[in-house]
């Protein structure tokens, strides 16, 4: 058995190394039709053991064709969920040890490495030292956690004890904030209607004067404003809310100020980008996802909170079976979030930060931003295309100067080709294509190739209209 395992590890690690070299040869978007994978899977599992060779052969022939290759350098859609060699190596080690780091005692290294790595990241992101960091699975969880802690703090921990009693709480975010904020409002029992969405200007930034007006209206009608999310890099266009203005209102009305920097927060590592984040230091909590633009395999979301005591008070419970001799003289991260069990995610961050070094990480981010600047300039120069949103980071929003339907057709044709993958959104009522230059190994030749293909199909579509 042991020898079989060793042989299987060789096979898998060879495949992993080859995948890194050959990922460009796969179609970016999986080409399988709905139901194709399912039709190749037996209705019942085998009663007897199967050889790993057989399992692995099926993995290659059934599963891989049904994979959309998020690590393909021409995956330009959504936001990347980028991986990297050090992160993959860490995942292999994490899986092999099967660490569950809920308490300090269940793996002291998992807890203590997380403490140190989160201090490193806090400083790298230039977040004030009053903040403490903890790793969560996703930005959605981080935002939910922030909303729950804020709710408890404002009600003096009443709802944790008694449940809701005709609550009057109300929260705010912009119309462009990610759907995870609304989901959090549903999950925590606030109710979607008690999350007010503040209109944005043409650059998709929250209108702070309307926020002020909403808060005043709510106070006058007996409601209790308690939470505001400002976004540093919206999902549609990476717009940045006026964090400074929001922080002033948050102070004035005593609201918890949460900053969703899930994607663009990685850019806080670049001193030249800090100017965009004026006001972030006034936040109560901040979320940044290394599993998006910091080369750390999904999942890994870093959550920074100013009032760590309120967080722990909100979530801690200590049944007999979880008591350990160290008690609360050590950090027990099980008390810092939704789940009890915790993956050993800090190992990935540790490997990634050491493998690239701060200089290497900054260089990669800057290269991505520079390439997206280039792409933007090509779009500006093209007679049939237009840039559709202000670019702050490495997302370029653009459109063919034609109808929404033609733009959707352009995107669909490109995606079906398998050569590249884009996604779309709507800005100011119009369909816009999004191209994020953020893959770990994306190079200039990839954006050149993509732009050539986009231009060619765009021109054919325009000619067909004419």
Q: At what angle do helices 346-381 and 108-124 cross, to 10 degrees?
A: 30
Question: What's the Cα-to-Cα distance from 29 to each of 38, 396, 414, rounded to whole Å?
Answer: 18, 20, 10
Contact between 297 and ligand PLP (CB under 6 A)? Answer: no
Q: How many residues bind ligand PLP (CB under 6 A)?
A: 14
As beta bridge partners, residue 433 has: 398, 424
Q: Which helix (DSSP H) or strand (DSSP E) does residue 365 occupy?
A: helix 346-381
Instruction: List, in order, residues 6 or more apart from 166 with CB less than 8 Å away.
Output: none
Q: Which stretch binds ligand PLP (CB under 6 A): 10-18, 26-34, 132-140, 211-219?
A: 132-140
Q: What part of residues 53-92 is at the interface with ligand PLP (CB under 6 A)? A: 79
Nearest in space to 194 (alpha carbons), one of 219, 225, 217:
225
Contact between 436 and ligand PLP (CB under 6 A)? Answer: no
The binder of ligand PLP chosen from 84, 138, 296, 439 (CB under 6 A): 138
Choose between 86 and 265: whose C-beta lies nearer to ligand PLP. Answer: 265
Choose between 260 and 284: whose C-beta lies nearer to ligand PLP. Answer: 260
The binder of ligand PLP chosen from 111, 132, 174, 301 (CB under 6 A): 301
Instruction: List, in order, residues 6 or more apart from 30 with CB less than 8 Å away.
Output: 65, 66, 67, 68
Contact between 263 and ligand PLP (CB under 6 A)? Answer: yes
Choose between 101 and 233: whose C-beta lies nearer to ligand PLP. Answer: 233
Contact between 303 and ligand PLP (CB under 6 A)? Answer: no
Minimal distance, residue 178 CB to ligand PLP, in Å: 4
Contact between 262 and ligand PLP (CB under 6 A)? Answer: yes
Contact between 139 and ligand PLP (CB under 6 A)? Answer: yes
Choose between 138 and 281: whose C-beta lies nearer to ligand PLP. Answer: 138
Question: What's the Cα-to-Cα distance from 82 to each of 333, 362, 369, 417, rounded to whole Å?
Answer: 26, 15, 16, 22
Choose between 28 and 262: whose C-beta lies nearer to ligand PLP. Answer: 262
CB atoms within 10 A of CB 50: 10
Question: Residue 65: is it exposed, middle or buried by C-beta count within 10 angstroms (0-12/13-18/19+)?
Answer: middle
Contact indicator for 382, 400 with CB cutoff of 8 Å: no
The binder of ligand PLP chosen from 180, 237, 281, 440 (CB under 6 A): 180
The binder of ligand PLP chosen from 235, 281, 314, 439 (CB under 6 A): 235
Minimal distance, residue 78 CB to ligand PLP, in Å: 6
Choose between 263 and 304: whose C-beta lies nearer to ligand PLP. Answer: 263
How far is 84 from 127, CA to CA, in rounded Å? 25
Contact indicator for 263, 79 with CB cutoff of 8 Å: yes
Query: Which residues form the interface with ligand PLP (CB under 6 A)?
Result: 79, 138-140, 178, 180, 231, 233, 235, 260, 262-263, 289, 301
């Amino acid at each position: 058995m042991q020898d079989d395992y060793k042989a299987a590890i060789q096979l898998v690690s060879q495949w992993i190394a080859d995948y890194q070299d050959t990922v460009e040869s796969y179609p970016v978007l999986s080409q399988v039709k709905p139901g194709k994978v399912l039709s190749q899977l037996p209705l019942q599992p085998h009663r007897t053991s199967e050889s790993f060779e057989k399992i692995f052969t099926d993995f290659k022939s059934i599963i891989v064709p049904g994979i959309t290759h998020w690590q393909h350098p021409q995956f330009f859609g959504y936001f990347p969920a980028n991986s990297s060699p050090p992160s993959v190596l860490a995942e292999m080690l994490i899986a092999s040890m099967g660490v569950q780091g809920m308490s300090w005692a269940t793996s002291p290294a998992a807890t203590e490495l997380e403490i140190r790595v989160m201090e490193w990241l806090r400083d790298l992101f230039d977040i004030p030292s009053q903040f403490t960091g903890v790793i969560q699975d996703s930005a959605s969880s981080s935002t939910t956690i922030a909303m729950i802690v804020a709710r408890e703090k404002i009600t003096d921990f009443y709802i944790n004890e008694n449940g809701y009693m005709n609550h009057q709480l109300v929260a705010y975010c912009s119309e462009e904030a990610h759907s995870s904020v609304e989901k959090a409002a549903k999950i925590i029992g606030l109710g979607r209607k008690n999350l007010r969405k503040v209109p944005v200007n043409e650059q998709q930034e929250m209108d702070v004067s309307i926020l002020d007006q909403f808060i005043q209206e709510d106070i006058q009608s007996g409601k209790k404003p308690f939470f505001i999310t400002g976004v540093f890099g919206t999902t549609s266009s990476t717009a940045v809310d006026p964090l400074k203005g929001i922080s002033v209102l948050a102070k004035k009305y005593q609201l918890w100020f949460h900053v969703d920097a899930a994607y663009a927060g990685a850019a806080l590592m670049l001193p030249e980008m800090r100017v965009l984040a004026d006001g972030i230091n006034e936040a109560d909590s901040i979320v940044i996802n290394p599993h998006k633009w910091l080369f750390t395999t999904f999942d890994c979301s870093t959550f920074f909170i100013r009032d760590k005591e309120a967080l722990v008070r909100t979530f801690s419970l200590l049944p007999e079976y979880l008591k350990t001799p160290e008690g609360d003289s050590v950090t027990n991260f099980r008390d810092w979030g939704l789940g009890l069990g915790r993956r050993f995610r800090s190992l990935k961050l540790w490997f990634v930060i050491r493998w690239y070094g701060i200089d290497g990480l900054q260089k990669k981010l800057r290269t991505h931003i520079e390439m997206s600047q280039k792409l933007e300039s090509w779009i500006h120069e093209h007679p049939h295309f237009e840039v559709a949103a202000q670019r702050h980071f490495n997302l370029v929003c653009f459109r063919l100067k034609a109808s929404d339907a033609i733009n959707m057709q352009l995107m669909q044709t490109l995606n079906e080709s398998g050569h590249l993958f884009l996604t779309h959104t709507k800005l100011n009522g119009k369909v816009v294509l999004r191209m994020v230059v953020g893959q770990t190994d994306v190079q200039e030749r990839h954006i050149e190739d993509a732009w050539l293909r986009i231009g060619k199909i765009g021109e054919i579509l325009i000619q067909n209209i004419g």
